[in-house]
């Protein structure tokens, strides 16, 4: 049991920085999407950006930063087209 607790503690220490990075990237991505929407994107990109923003904010609020980053990626792809 002791080794299990030790293993979980090590895992927590390893993943904590990654979660912090994902959280920061998520926040930066949301700001990027908001800026893109404010800059009058193309008619084709606007609904995709709005959906990506809604999803990214929801996932951020749920603490699912990897899924937030997926939504940010969707927004970047919409802007690249």
Domain boundaries, the chain: 20-80
**pLDDT at residue 81, rounded to an integer:** 86
Please state, in angstroms and rounded to a whole number, the distance separating the CA atoms of residues 21 and 40: 29
Residue-wise pLDDT for 14-57, tens only, equals 445 555 689 999 999 999 999 999 999 999 999 999 999 999 99
The size of the chain, in residues, is 81
**pLDDT at residue 5, rounded to an integer:** 63
Instruction: Kindly give, in sequence order, each residue whose CB lies less than 8 Å from that of residue 66, ignoring residues fewer than 6 positions away.
Output: 22
- Write out the H or E segment, with its range, that includes residue 8: helix 2-38
């Amino acid at each position: 049991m002791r080794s299990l607790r030790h293993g979980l503690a090590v895992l927590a220490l390893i993943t904590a920085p990654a979660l912090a990075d994902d959280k920061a990237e998520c926040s930066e991505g949301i700001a990027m999407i908001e800026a893109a929407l404010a800059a009058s994107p193309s008619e084709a990109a606007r609904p995709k950006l709005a959906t990506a923003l809604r999803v990214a904010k929801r996932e951020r609020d749920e603490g699912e930063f990897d899924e937030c980053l997926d939504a940010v990626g969707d927004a970047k792809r919409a802007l690249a087209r």
